[in-house]
Amino acid sequence: MGRIEKVMSEPRTLLDKIWTDHVVCVPPGRLPLLYIDLHLVHEVTSPQAFEGLRVAGRSVRQPGHTVATVDHNVPTTPRGTPIADPIAALQVETLAKNAKQFGIRLFDMDSPDQGIVHVIGPELGFTQPGMTIVCGDSHTSTHGALGALAFGIGTSEVEHVLATQCLPQRKPKNMLIQVSGRLGHGVGAKDLALAVIRQIGTDGATGYVIEYAGELVRSLSIEGRMTLCNMSIEAGARAAMVAPDDVTFAYLEGRRFAPRGRAWDEALSRWRRSSYDPGAKYDVVVEVDASRLAPLVTWGTNPGMVVPVNGRVPDKNELKTGDAAGAARMLEYMGLEPGTPIETIPIDRVFIGSCTNSRLEDLRAAARVAKGYRVAPQVRAMVVPGSQAVKRAAEQEGLDRIFQEAGFEWRESGCSMCLGMNPDILQPGERCASTSNRNFEGRQGRGGRTHLVSPMMAAAAAIAGHFTDIRNWQFR
């Protein structure tokens, strides 16, 4: 007995705790079967999964653990007008049909709770500490900000979870990212996320679940933690997490689908056991010093190609190390000369939105920059709230007026120009300051050139017409 207690009290990583709690069984010669507490579903990666169920005559095992919304395809123009693209419309209708047939809760286009799946999950209180959460979308890592093990899956796995509420999974390895220092004025969670990717590389965390720790991470709001966890997939991570604390519990209390009354008290005591254990053993520990972090801007076509806003596009000598041919190709695609100062790069478009940066705090930060200014005449800028609830809250605070008076377009919620599945896309050659997560070739539209930045940096770029150091901004 004494020995068991000792084992039980040994410090464990958050991944280890959640993993152990969710292993249903380990069939001989097979992978452990992991139970899934919450399955988020959207219109793009689910139709083939539901069709698979129908073909095999299977049902959804736990419709109550499954939540669907439409986000990728939906237009951000005023609601009520039909989707112009017939193929997109069919996909949205198909989800509605599937949700109805299999008894799944759906937040459809006209729902007051519609939004980007990774925004509405936490917002409505579905996402909770200690849970296992999956979704057919790589940015599912976002939910780890509340101390859940949340990861993206493909459509075959979506079907698997629908049918069995389980997934055969190999246990990922543990990576601790210990962040020290303090974020300076004008530097936020987005800059920290980009700095992590710059430091460990776009495949630096492949096979790992990242647990973020350190005082700086504790000092971030839940929304900031979401931005950080969201972009961990761009470093290859299977998932990313922040152990839950009082900030997490305060965020969750009173949300519509969070536990209430006695159930809340019980949940709290359960969740507190998922706290960060100093002394737990990680396979890899990475130290990130954020004290001298500047606002960052990507210059290339992957999110690890990052420089400070007061820096330059790498010069020819710097590009010679590593994949020189690849770097040359990238610069050609981006239409940039080596050594160009970032602040001299003019932009055509600005996109403030996406599951990375479309929550209320992001919009507040951007609005504070935009207040009293006008978007540069050659720039087209749009703000796309992450959900209808974010949109309403922002409007209550008058953020919509600040944006519109400054010349930003104020849109309906959805994924929008982060991936351009709806009509919001870049034209070939257009250069965009974007708060989204991927600067891949063609991501925001064929031939489009994406630079990833924070919401404040995006708003400032819209007004200046080029990238500008937010640390020198004159707020009005």
Partner 1 sequence: MQPFRTHTGRVVPLDRANIDTDQIIPKQFLKRIERSGFGEFLFFDWRRAADGALEPSFVLNQTRSKGASVLVTGKNFGCGSSREHAVWALADFGFRAVVAPSFADIFATNCAKNGLLAVVLRQEEVREIVERSAEAPNYQLTVDLEHCRVSDDRGFSATFPIDEFTRHCLLEGLDEIGLTLEREAEIAAYEAGLAQRRT
Q: Which stretch binds partner 1 (CB under 8 A): 101-109, 161-169, 180-188, 394-402?
A: 161-169
Rounded to an integer, what distance in angstroms lies between the CA atom of residue 414 and that of residue 190?
20
Does position 250 interact with partner 1 (CB under 8 A)? The reply is: no
Token duo for residue 416: 């929008």
**Which of residues 120, 153, 288, 297 is near partner 1 by CB under 8 A?**
153
**Which of residues 63, 96, 108, 164 is near partner 1 by CB under 8 A?**
164
**Which of residues 66, 73, 230, 248 is near partner 1 by CB under 8 A?**
73
CB of 272 to partner 1, least distance (A): 15
- The answer to whether residues 133 and 150 touch, using CB atoms and an 8 Å cutoff, is yes
**Which of residues 421, 433, 457, 463 is near partner 1 by CB under 8 A?**
421
* Number of residues counted as binding partner 1 (CB under 8 A): 66
Does position 39 interact with partner 1 (CB under 8 A)? The reply is: no
CA 189-195-198 angle, to 5 degrees, is: 150
Q: Which amino acid is at 194?
A: L
- Taking CB under 8 A as the criterion, which residues in 281-320 touch partner 1? 302
Report residue 387: phi and psi, to 5°: -155, 170
The strands making up 33-35's β-sheet, listed across from edge to edge, are 23-25, 33-35, 166-168
Does position 64 interact with partner 1 (CB under 8 A)? The reply is: no
For the four alpha carbons of 130, 145, 119 and 423, in that order, the dihedral sign comes to negative
**Which of residues 59, 156, 291, 396 is near partner 1 by CB under 8 A?**
156
Does position 47 interact with partner 1 (CB under 8 A)? The reply is: yes
Taking the least distance from each CB to partner 1, the nearer of 174 and 468 is 174
Q: Which stretch binds partner 1 (CB under 8 A): 24-32, 116-124, 220-228, 392-400?
A: 24-32
Token duo for residue 127: 């996402």
**Which of residues 441, 451, 469, 470 is near partner 1 by CB under 8 A?**
441
Taking the least distance from each CB to partner 1, the nearer of 140 and 413 is 140
Rounded to an integer, what distance in angstroms lies between the CA atom of residue 449 and that of residue 347?
9
Does position 63 interact with partner 1 (CB under 8 A)? The reply is: no
- Taking CB under 8 A as the criterion, which residues in 347-376 touch partner 1? none
- Taking CB under 8 A as the criterion, which residues in 190-229 touch partner 1? 202-203, 206-207
Does position 166 interact with partner 1 (CB under 8 A)? The reply is: yes
**Which of residues 87, 110, 246, 474 is near partner 1 by CB under 8 A?**
87
Does position 335 interact with partner 1 (CB under 8 A)? The reply is: no
**Which of residues 39, 438, 449, 451 is near partner 1 by CB under 8 A?**
438
- From the list 295, 293, 334, 292, the residue with the least C-alpha distance to 313 is 334
- The answer to whether residues 209 and 15 touch, using CB atoms and an 8 Å cutoff, is yes
**Which of residues 31, 84, 250, 285 is near partner 1 by CB under 8 A?**
31
- From the list 442, 447, 443, 472, the residue with the least C-alpha distance to 457 is 472
Taking the least distance from each CB to partner 1, the nearer of 106 and 406 is 106
What is the binding site for partner 1 (CB under 8 A)?
24-25, 27, 29-31, 33, 35, 44-45, 47-48, 51, 56, 58, 61-62, 72-73, 85, 87-88, 90-91, 94, 136-138, 152-157, 159-160, 163-166, 168, 170, 172, 202-203, 206-207, 234, 236, 238, 263, 266, 302, 323, 326, 419-421, 428, 438, 440-443, 446-447
